[in-house]
Structure 1
Amino acid sequence: MQDLVGPVLGTLALVAVGGYLLGSIPFGVIITRAAGAGDVRQIGSGNIGATNVLRTGRKDLALATLLLDAGKGAAALLIARYLFPNDLVPAIAGGAAFLGHLFPVWLKFKGGKGVATFFGLLLAAAWPLGLLAAATWILVAVLFRISSLSALVASAAAPLFALSPLAALGLPAPAAITALAAFTAVLIWIRHAENIGRLLKGAEPRIGAKKA
């Protein structure tokens, strides 16, 4: 048994590092610079995610950032699942990719807030869970037109969806996926601390509103 501990830990470490490096690719920065739209970190909120990329006025760049940020989380999890067909290793890879997006080594650990990567992870891990979380985001966005509130509610709801009776109806959300949803939700709430403060003050901007 002890002879297996070293290789297992080595494999988990390799998966975690690989997932982190994949997740740390700053697509928002790369895309805006390549398109001649400047450094996204120097505009708006300074965030590297799709919402801030949209402030460049380029919807195409924002969409590309959204898809690539979601895709890198999904890719990390799916590659790990292909190589190690179980629940734990893909969840570790996905969680590491999420950390990579939030704290990318290439940008001095100053990354995004993880919402797109969060949805990519959930859709890859258990697509019904991802769709439920996405539907929650859309519902809150339609009702309140506040992107950050939509992200906070959707992320908080995801672990609850995984633990709900919906799991008995075919929702593939084993313990590792539920833990991944909870882990990413906690980090999303931490990264949205400033947004939460503005929400409590009623000062959070609404979707489509122009800054003064």
Structure 2
Amino acid sequence: MITASLLILAAYLLGSVSSAIIVCRLMSLPDPRTQGSNNPGATNVLRIGGKKPAAITLFGDSLKGLFPMLAGHLLGVAPWVLAAVGLAAFLGHLFPVFFGFRGGKGVATALGVQFGLWWPIGLCVALIWLFVAKVLKISSLSALISMSLAPLIVWLLWPDPVLIGMQLVMTGILIWRHRSNIRNLLTGSEGRLVDQVGGSDQD
């Protein structure tokens, strides 16, 4: 229990390290919480600073989900601990203790958790995201569709009730965090991937 507790705490603290805020500070860019959509995520960093800082932010956010899950595997923890670790990293990104509990929307970190759980799961979710993004060219819709299908993918590839439950919780929170995007999608005002600016965040 001590190992599990320390791993869960470490996952939350790592998740609380905001890649967007740190990248913007290091690259002398405006605080993403005060510019654009005010969301500390890769999409808003793209809007503020361009592709390079956005890519670094996306990579950093993914690693926050990946590393704790890999650590859990190396320590040989039970599935329920893996589930708790994944949720802790995800919630750390959404509600970072180091940045006033004001975080992003969690797509990249959730994907990192999925790759860390088992790489075929992450790959399936990522491929769905890429396919929808290429066809529909709407990032938030790609995230909503791929993450909505993620519980089914976990069920098919690793049908452990606890892990399926973890993904259901993450998917539910992601949908809730994207409620403004859903409103924009319904009204036809959601930004597209081809847009250089505008639209609303999904990370």
Q: Does 1:143 align with 2:135?
A: yes
Matches within 5 A, 1:10-49: 10-49=2-41
Native 8 Å contact 1:15 1:92 kept in 2: no
Q: Please list every run of 5 or more consecutive structure 1 residues that lacks an aligned counterpart in the other structure.
A: 1-7
**1:206 matched to 2:187:** no
Structure 1 range deviating more: 47-56 or 11-20: 11-20
| TM-score where L is the length of structure 1 | 0.87
Q: 2:89 aligns with which of 76, 86, 97?
A: 97
CA apart distance, 1:174: 2.8
> Which residue of the partner structure matches residue 183 of structure 2?
197
2:170 corresponds to 1:184: yes
> Who is 2:110 aligned against?
118
1:11 is displaced (CA, Å) by 4.5
The equivalent residue for 1:127 is 119
Residues 121 and 173 of structure 1: CA distance in aligned 2, closer, same or farther (over 3 Å): farther
Gaps (5+ residues) in structure 2? 199-203
Q: Secondary structure at the match of 1:41?
A: coil
Instruction: Output the CA distance in 2 between the equivalents of 1:83 and 1:162.
Output: 21
Q: Residues 70 and 117 of structure 1 are in contact (CA less than 8 Å); yes or no, is this contact kept in structure 2?
A: yes
Residues 23 and 76 in structure 1, CA contact (< 8 A), matched pair in contact too: no
TM-score between the two structures when normalised by the length of structure 2: 0.91
CA contact (8 A) 1:102 1:114 kept: yes
**C-alpha RMSD of matched pairs (Å):** 1.6
Equivalent residue in structure 2 for 1:107, among 99, 107, 131: 99
Q: 1 or 2 for the larger relative contact order (CA 8 Å, sep ≥6)? A: 2
Alignment of 1:55 onto 2:47 = yes
Q: Which residue, out of 77, 85, 89, partners 2:77?
A: 85
Say whether the 8 Å CA contact 2:42–2:54 is kept in structure 1.
yes
Number of aligned positions between the proteins: 198
* Amino acid corresponding to residue 206 of structure 1 in structure 2: R
Deviations 1:149-184 (Å, cap 9, x if unpaired)?
Answer: 110000000101222xxx3xxx34533332222121
Q: Matched residue of 1:29: which SS?
A: helix
1:187 partner letter:
I
Asked whether 1:64 is paired with 2:56, we answer: yes
